[in-house]
Amino acid sequence: MNIDRIQAAAHRIEGHAVRTPLLNAPLLDDMAGRRIFVKSECLQKTGSFKYRGARSAISALDAATRAKGVLAFSSGNHAQGIACAAREMEAPAVIIMPEDAPALKIANTRAYGAEVVLYDRATGDRDAIGAELAGARGLTLIKPFDNEDVIAGQGTCGLEIAEQAAEAGIGAADVLVCCGGGGLSAGIALALDAHAPQLTVRTVEPEGFDDVARSLLVGTKQVNTQMTGSVCDAILTPSPGNLTFPVIQQHCGPGMVVSDDEALRAMVAAFLRLKLTVEPGGAVALAAAMFHSEGDQDVIAVASGGNVDATVFQTALSRFGESN
Amino acid sequence: MNIDRIQAAAHRIEGHAVRTPLLNAPLLDDMAGRRIFVKSECLQKTGSFKYRGARSAISALDAATRAKGVLAFSSGNHAQGIACAAREMEAPAVIIMPEDAPALKIANTRAYGAEVVLYDRATGDRDAIGAELAGARGLTLIKPFDNEDVIAGQGTCGLEIAEQAAEAGIGAADVLVCCGGGGLSAGIALALDAHAPQLTVRTVEPEGFDDVARSLLVGTKQVNTQMTGSVCDAILTPSPGNLTFPVIQQHCGPGMVVSDDEALRAMVAAFLRLKLTVEPGGAVALAAAMFHSEGDQDVIAVASGGNVDATVFQTALSRFGESN
């Protein structure tokens, strides 16, 4: 993995991915006592950064391979990114999703024209289901983060942050990134290392799912003991990726951890102050900026996705809408 | 009013106002059977386009006048725009607001450091209150739409639409604009006439508050019979402005009208599909694009503001969140 691969991905996705704005709100700054900039990837096509990696990876396949189709395992955002990018490039897409994925994410994946195969997380073997489908139809598996073209695609978000931070007059700053398997964190870290080394990525995870933070502390890959139990469904992964962890270890600062309630409060702040729909897992970086970040230096938080069910959003507004 | 005045305003507000993105969502297009582009002014500083006109007008004052302070009457978005722009330019700001303005708008206006004077819409005389304050303190009144520098500021949104439509490959199209007094509609229409004459502005108003649509039909300024009774608080004005109506009459197509429920449905669609917080009055243009627009030609809808109370948003989600 190097910066050339990210530049190549940027070239392939240009004109397809949204150059999402770096937003800021005076009243949010007042509350935090520092400037908080939000890279609004929830405004990306399909509602999350995952479209970048999906478009990057599918466009990197040769035409014959692409025409046979692609396969993905995903609880939601990677699924939508793959489904949408595949449709644009006229490639069949099969997505294997857990039955308990958010309804909006399943419905959207189908709406993009993908074939969705549901399985039971407790009893189903998604790898076996995937292997059978891939073998029978010649589909190419696109992993959600342990794929160099996917990481390169997510890195294009970092290229934009480097440019937008310069435009906004941001000097040295932490760039807080919502972290599941680490594809977005690794991609952004590589891009910033090449183009804005004064910006340092720090991963942010939900309490109880802090495998990356613990892995960084210990120096080897750690595994979470649970796979459910947080509202931050988008970023619940068992352990850092094989490709992503070495990059994160080399380029990122210490990992940060926030509670579910802090994520929901950040979601409400994004609604009130930035006018953005952010999903719980996409709000953990903003939560870290608001509740766990010290000093008065500028901070950049990536709002990585916005695919939240209306009922979850209503609950967050009713719990925290008046206290912001 | 002419395009030079809009260019001058663009120069004055550059680096202060956000260049808001023109967003699009494949699933929204699928639903509508045409491409719908949304100019997301809810992402503007203070959460609405009003900041553009406020910054334009206050920055056009000479330094001595500005230092004495500015005065505005507003139920919300103009209030926040003036308060924020005045704070940035170190000018005192006094805002006269109705007691029944949305709580979020009153709180935000105060948070920007403005002095808020509340009055009772039924019994208070806001003009008398304003005249007394202006006389005693030497404040300059900044009207919300009948002010050339305000219209020029709103017109900068039109300059951006002209550029962004070209980038997106949009040919001839209607540009639907949420319309109260007509400052945004007039400003955008003037900018497009100069830079993208193939784009035609059409005003959009809520049912029962369609003074501009009726005025366009009749050819003279008409007055609404009511001032309350719609959830679209941001755009309930009694009649078109003296400066804005001639511009709208010359440059815009027929006015469009949507119901409150259509506005709320559009608000939910913006939440689900575009990941934007849009207030009811800021959603009428998207509602017109979704429910009243015929054919398959591209359409641009301006989402003019996003300052909605959490309780109103929750209600909209609970009524229409599942049906989108």
The answer to whether A42 and A280 are in contact (CB under 8 A) is: no
Can you tell me the distance from the alpha carbon of A12 to that of A270, in angstroms, rounded to the nearest whole number?
Answer: 31
Collect all residues from A whose CB is shorter than 8 A from any CB in B: 18-21, 23, 25-27, 30, 40, 42-43, 45-47, 84, 87, 104, 108, 111-112, 268, 271-272, 274-278, 306, 309-311, 313-314, 317-318, 321-322
> Higher model confidence: residue B124 or residue B26?
B26
For A77, the enclosing helix (H) or strand (E) is helix A77-88
| pLDDT beyond 60 at B62 | yes
Task: Kindly report the pTM of this predicted structure.
Answer: 0.96
Write the pLDDT tens digit of every residue in A141-183: 999 999 999 999 999 999 999 999 999 999 999 999 999 999 9
- Read off the pLDDT of each residue in B258-262 and give the average, rounded to a whole number: 97
- Mark yes or no for CB contact B310/A268 under 8 Å: yes
The CATH fold assigned to B3-49+147-320 is: Rossmann fold (3.40.50)
- Yes or no: say if B194 and B186 are a contact pair by the CB < 8 Å rule: no
pLDDT tens-place string over residues A10-56 = 999 999 999 999 999 999 999 899 999 999 999 999 999 999 999 99
Q: What is the dihedral of CA B266, B271, B272, B274, to 10 degrees?
A: 90
Higher pLDDT, A199 or B235: A199
Q: Topology of B51-141 in CATH?
A: Rossmann fold (3.40.50)
Query: Across the interface, do B277 and A268 touch by the CB < 8 Å criterion?
Result: no
> What's the pLDDT at B324?
53
- CB-CB under 8 Å, B26 with A84: yes
Q: Residue type for A15, please?
A: G
Tell me which residue of A25, A23, A44, A22 sits closest to A306, measured CA to CA: A44
Distance CA B148, CA B67 (A): 21
Nearest-Cα residue of chain A relative to residue B105: A272
CB B282 within 8 A of CB B305: yes
Closest Cβ–Cβ partner in A23, A274, A314 for B318:
A314
Q: In 3D, which of B178, B158, B177, B140 has the Cα closest to residue B57?
A: B140
Do A3-49+148-320 and A51-141 come out as alike in CATH topology?
A: yes
ipTM: 0.95
HEC secondary structure over A144-158? CCCCHHHHHHHHHHH
User: Which H or E run includes A1?
Assistant: none
* Cβ-based neighbours of A26, under 8 Å, separated by 6 or more: B45, B46, B84, B87, B112
Q: Which two tokens stand for residue B240?
A: 């078109």
pLDDT recorded at residue A293: 86
Provide, rounded to the nearest whole percent, the portion of chain B with pLDDT above 70.
Answer: 99
Q: Which amino acid is present at A56?
A: S
- Of B133, B129, B89, B131, give the one whose Cα is nearest residue B112: B89
Q: Scanning every residue of chain B, which has its alpha carbon at the shortest distance from the alpha carbon of A112? A: B27
Task: Give how far B34 is from chain A: nearest CA, Å.
Answer: 16
Nearest CB to A275: which of B27, B43, B272? B43
Q: What's the token pair of residue B64?
A: 């001595």
Contact B20 A23 (CB under 8 A): no
From CA A17, how far away is CA A157, in angstroms rounded? 10
Query: Predicted confidence band at A188 (pLDDT cuts at 50, 70, 90)?
Result: very high
What distances in angstroms separate CA A19 from CA A14, A202, B22, one per listed residue? 9, 22, 11
pLDDT of A324 > 80? The answer is no
Distance between CA B154 and CA A208 in Å, rounded? 48
The enclosing H or E element of B52 equals helix B50-60
CA quadruple A39, A48, B22, B77: dihedral sign: negative
CATH number listed for the domain at residues A3-49+148-320: 3.40.50.1100
At residue A269's C-alpha, the angle toward residues A267 and A271, to 5°, is: 70
Q: Is B25 within 8 Å of A42 when comparing Cβ atoms? A: no
pLDDT tens readout for residues A114-148? 999 999 988 888 888 888 989 999 999 999 999 99
Please state the separation of Cα A163 from the chain's center in Å.
Answer: 20
Question: Would you state the structure tokens that stand for residue A76, as one six-digit string?
Answer: 């939601």
pLDDT tens per residue across span A302-321: 999 999 999 999 999 999 98
Domain ranges of chain A: 3-49+148-320, 51-141
Residue A104 — very low, low, confident or very high, per pLDDT cuts 50/70/90? confident
Beta bridge partners of A36: A299
C-alpha–C-alpha distance, residues A115 and B265, integer Å: 28
